[in-house]
Structure 1
Amino acid sequence: MRHTKVKDLLNSTTTLQEINAKGWVRTFRNNQFIALNDGSTINNIQCVVDFENTPDETLKRITTGAAVSVTGNLVESKGAGQKYEIQVNKLEILGDSDAEKFPMQPKKHSLEFLRENAHLRVRTNAFGAIMRVRSVLSFAVHSYFQQKGFVYVNTPIVTGADAEGAGEMFQVTSLPLDNLPKTEEGNIDYKKDFFGKHTNLTVSGQLEGETFAMALGQIYTFGPTFRAENSNTSRHLAEFWMIEPEVAFNDLNDNMDLAEDFIKYVVKYAVDNCSDDLKFLEGRLIEEEKSKPQAERSEMPLLEKLGFVMNNDFKRVSYTEAVDILRDSTPNKKKKFQYIINEWGADLQSEHERYLVEKHFKCPVILFDYPANIKAFYMRLNEDGKTVRAMDILFPGIGEIVGGSQREERFDVLVEKMKALGIDEEELWWYLDTRRFGSAVHSGFGLGFERLVLFVTGMTNIRDVIPFPRTPQNAEF
């Protein structure tokens, strides 16, 4: 018999005869009541076992975490909390279950404990909800760009280009590390490596994406990226997913419009399609915050915060104006910031970004026109010669969630910037070709997908919104 999803059974409009459901036992009470979940919904369905006619050996094997198949009738529930339950006529235990060793017992576990059991943590209500929301957000990304006529481009994971210029990349090699081939000068001979050159895992698909935007008009990438940055914080991962659109003929204002519209769309899509999961996560967040000092609690419940983003325009502020605000702020004057803002040109930190969003403007903020010396080489230089057409979108609780810019389309200016930063023109000859042949104004941005999931789910640690987090000293599973 084909089994029916728990979600569909709970949403049924009528009682049903002879149905089958399969899933995992969340709880088993009084030798009679199974709370069954198959991952299709945050909600369990109650299965009422005929314990008088069920062998004791079978009852003993119905433990938390056990996979079971139940066949019976969907009837109106006699208890409160759900409309239907299953009166079980036949119960089958699928596979083995060691009740004493199963880590995910029906009690509150710390997030750190759950990270150590990432292969099982998705069986908890919280992580089931997070991963369903992540899945829906992923679909929403593609839905938005496909509806807008963007072309989905798969940029390479292995690359010889450092898009960010920071050098914090994971090297890819097939050379024997215990016997590296050397040149006559004593350097590593990368010509004998698999790709015949020094290669790394990508930090961004932007540069390759630009080449496609110069032919297809508007494209987007959505794939894994890697940073060898030794940042063991709640906001950083070594492996994460990036959403990167690139659009020909768009200037910085067009870019800001696109980013804001995109974010509002995907957040609304999640709210519309993950209502049960988001309500659960909101309740979880409220309970967690009861133990925090009042000053550290969120000013809005999760769903209200998401609605605030969807229904309000993002405040657009120049970097110069932002620095003036920060320099004159109370936490700066009283030296409460870890990084004091004294002068124009400072690289803003998360504490500054969150102050602007959460305390000063109290709404999402788009900062633009940053100092050229703290931004990447490919950003368009403004007429003042000291700022570039960059933009960052800042969110409450997150800080920067989007980084983008109008790209430098002028060949001569781009070459001069590369020379000043010591970037090898020969390594990026193909990128420079896009400025030699048919160059045009174009813009794009990058959105770290995990930071988006972090915001929408209300979680506070980025390791909790990706299935298997990769961080310094941690590549388990």
Structure 2
Amino acid sequence: MAGEIVPPENHSAADTLDNDGSTVQKAQFSDRVLIRSILSGGAKLAGQKVRISGWVKTGRQQGKGKFAFLEVNDGSCPANLQVMVDSSLYDLSRLVATGTCVTVDGVLKIPPEGKGMKQSIELSVESVIDVGTVDPTTYPLPKTKISAVARIRNALAFATHSFFQEHGFLYIHTPIITTSDCEGAGEMFQVTTLINHTERVEQDLIDNSPPTEADVEAERLIVKERGEAVARLKAAKASKEEITASVAQLTIAKASLAHVEERSRFKPGLPKKDGKIDYSNDFFGRQAFLTVSGQLQVETYACALSSVYTFGPTFRAENSHTSRHLAEFWMVEPEIAFADIHDDMNCAEAYVKYMCNWLIKNCSDDMDFMDKNVDGDARKG
């Protein structure tokens, strides 16, 4: 498409290399180095001292317990960094369990030839800074690299905003809780506080019997008597202290009466009016739902701002519990004023191309993983 915007490289300062790539940079807001940065630099980083943090994916003791090899991942990329720890530095039995969290300082070295290493660099630990142990029998953590899905989704969300911002769209925050059905786009999840209120009322009725009419009349009599007492004191021009004390007793009596009258109206079950649930006592005073679409809101904004979009969670209470019907998902909804169907088609096509290019440029390793382990056609087309 003419004038198509190509997505920029998505590199952060946390995982770039200095100058010729021979020096690693620390992650922003941390004194550690991202494993992705180390693996990207490879053998050129040999001799550099670094601190890494991450989780042990696999671990094994070697040399009759004299040292251990750990495969550590910090979530910055699919690949792990091999870390070698000597037994003189730490109890190796506490390090090798899958899921163990570690922070270590060490020197990057080129692995000896003939080790069958897939990586051109490994870390030889000089000191163990911190260890968060995990009991593998209680918490059997999987070794599956599901983080690839999270990184791809993160990249697509970022790219979505980049695409629309670069094309002059304004991002609109549409409400998640709404009273509109948005043209009947799907079954809706209802949001209500009535159920919690009803449960509290029913439990209260179980724990404390509701007051009878006689109880209510007794409270009313007390209020009447204390009101008359205040009137008598005022008529007798009693001291300010006496009147204040009597008024305080009257206030307490009125509060007690209000509480008793309220409890006398308690009934089990949801409140109803004319045979239907009465939502006037609900949080919003009417029925409310989780949104199925932000379309209605962005259409309104488009009538003043021309090109707008919303990108956020939507909810569908479809009675189909399969992988084809998600109860919650994120949806992109652009609205363009002064445009026709061809303009809409061009926008949709440009968006899809932009997303694909973004993945190829910024998520190559994760796409390779998906191609190998999930969908063999992930990179075709």
TM-score per shorter chain, which class?
0.5 to 0.7
Among candidates 60, 68, 78, match of residue 29 of structure 1: 60
Among candidates 322, 330, 341, match of residue 252 of structure 1: 341
Matched residues in 2 for 1:216 and 1:16: separation?
Answer: 56
Confirm or deny: 8 A CA contact 1:202 1:225 kept in the other structure: yes
Among candidates 135, 140, 156, match of residue 98 of structure 1: 135
Cα distance change on mapping 1:277 and 1:218 into 2, 3 Å: same
1:14 shift after superposition: 2.5
1:268 shift after superposition: 1.2
Is there any run of 5+ residues in structure 2 with no aligned partner, and where?
A: 1-29, 63-67, 199-267
1:181 aligns with 2:215: no
Q: Per the alignment, in what secondary structure is the counterpart of residue 33 of structure 1? A: strand
One-letter identity of the residue aligned with 1:163: C
Percent identical among aligned pairs is: 45
Matched residues in 2 for 1:54 and 1:37: separation?
Answer: 21
Matched residues in 2 for 1:162 and 1:266: separation?
Answer: 30
Q: Per the alignment, in what secondary structure is the counterpart of residue 45 of structure 2? A: coil
Q: Per the alignment, in what secondary structure is the counterpart of residue 311 of structure 2? A: strand
Matched residues in 2 for 1:97 and 1:33: separation?
Answer: 17
Question: Which residue of structure 1 aligns with residue 331 of structure 2?
Answer: 242
Matched residues in 2 for 1:257 and 1:231: separation?
Answer: 33
1:225 aligns with 2:314: yes
Question: Which residue of structure 1 aligns with residue 124 of structure 2?
Answer: 87
Among candidates 164, 187, 212, match of residue 301 of structure 2: 212
Confirm or deny: 8 A CA contact 1:61 1:97 kept in the other structure: no
> 1:31-46, aligned counterparts within 5 Å?
31=62, 32-46=68-82
Matched residues in 2 for 1:103 and 1:255: separation?
Answer: 49
Matched residues in 2 for 1:5 and 1:14: separation?
Answer: 13
Cα distance change on mapping 1:200 and 1:92 into 2, 3 Å: same
The Cα offsets for residues 180-227 of structure 1, whole Å up to 9 and x where unpaired, read as 3333x2322223222122211110000111000001001110111111
RMSD: 1.9
Q: Per the alignment, in what secondary structure is the counterpart of residue 182 of structure 2? A: coil
1:61 shift after superposition: 4.0
Q: Per the alignment, in what secondary structure is the counterpart of residue 272 of structure 2? A: coil
Matched residues in 1 for 2:348 and 2:98: separation?
Answer: 44
Matched residues in 2 for 1:197 and 1:165: separation?
Answer: 18
Confirm or deny: 8 A CA contact 2:94 2:133 kept in the other structure: no
The Cα offsets for residues 275-294 of structure 1, whole Å up to 9 and x where unpaired, read as 011111111136xxxxxxxx
Matched residues in 1 for 2:193 and 2:374: separation?
Answer: 46
Question: Which residue of structure 2 aligns with residue 136 of structure 1?
Answer: 155
The Cα offsets for residues 113-132 of structure 1, whole Å up to 9 and x where unpaired, read as xxxxxxxxxxx31x111110
Matched residues in 2 for 1:166 and 1:275: separation?
Answer: 36
Q: Per the alignment, in what secondary structure is the counterpart of residue 242 of structure 1? A: strand
Cα distance change on mapping 1:133 and 1:166 into 2, 3 Å: closer
Confirm or deny: 8 A CA contact 2:186 2:318 kept in the other structure: no
One-letter identity of the residue aligned with 1:227: R
1:269 shift after superposition: 0.4
1:10 shift after superposition: 1.3
Q: Number of aligned pairs? A: 271
Matched residues in 2 for 1:232 and 1:164: separation?
Answer: 23
Matched residues in 1 for 2:291 and 2:94: separation?
Answer: 51
The Cα offsets for residues 230-265 of structure 1, whole Å up to 9 and x where unpaired, read as 111221111111111011111112111111111111
TM-score (norm 2): 0.67
Confirm or deny: 8 A CA contact 1:133 1:274 kept in the other structure: yes
The Cα offsets for residues 336-360 of structure 1, whole Å up to 9 and x where unpaired, read as xxxxxxxxxxxxxxxxxxxxxxxxx
Confirm or deny: 8 A CA contact 2:111 2:120 kept in the other structure: yes
1:172 aligns with 2:209: no
> 1:188-337, aligned counterparts within 5 Å?
188-285=277-374, 301-304=377-380, 308=381
Larger radius of gyration: 2
Cα distance change on mapping 1:246 and 1:15 into 2, 3 Å: same
Matched residues in 1 for 2:123 and 2:178: separation?
Answer: 54
The Cα offsets for residues 445-476 of structure 1, whole Å up to 9 and x where unpaired, read as xxxxxxxxxxxxxxxxxxxxxxxxxxxxxxxx
Confirm or deny: 8 A CA contact 2:61 2:96 kept in the other structure: no
1:67 aligns with 2:86: no
Q: Per the alignment, in what secondary structure is the counterpart of residue 374 of structure 2? A: helix
The Cα offsets for residues 410-454 of structure 1, whole Å up to 9 and x where unpaired, read as xxxxxxxxxxxxxxxxxxxxxxxxxxxxxxxxxxxxxxxxxxxxx
1:11 shift after superposition: 1.7
Q: Per the alignment, in what secondary structure is the counterpart of residue 130 of structure 1? A: helix
1:4 aligns with 2:54: no
Matched residues in 2 for 1:264 and 1:61: separation?
Answer: 45
TM-score (norm 1): 0.54
1:93 shift after superposition: 4.6
1:30 shift after superposition: 3.2
Moved more, 86-95 or 153-162: 86-95
1:271 shift after superposition: 1.5
Cα distance change on mapping 1:105 and 1:171 into 2, 3 Å: closer
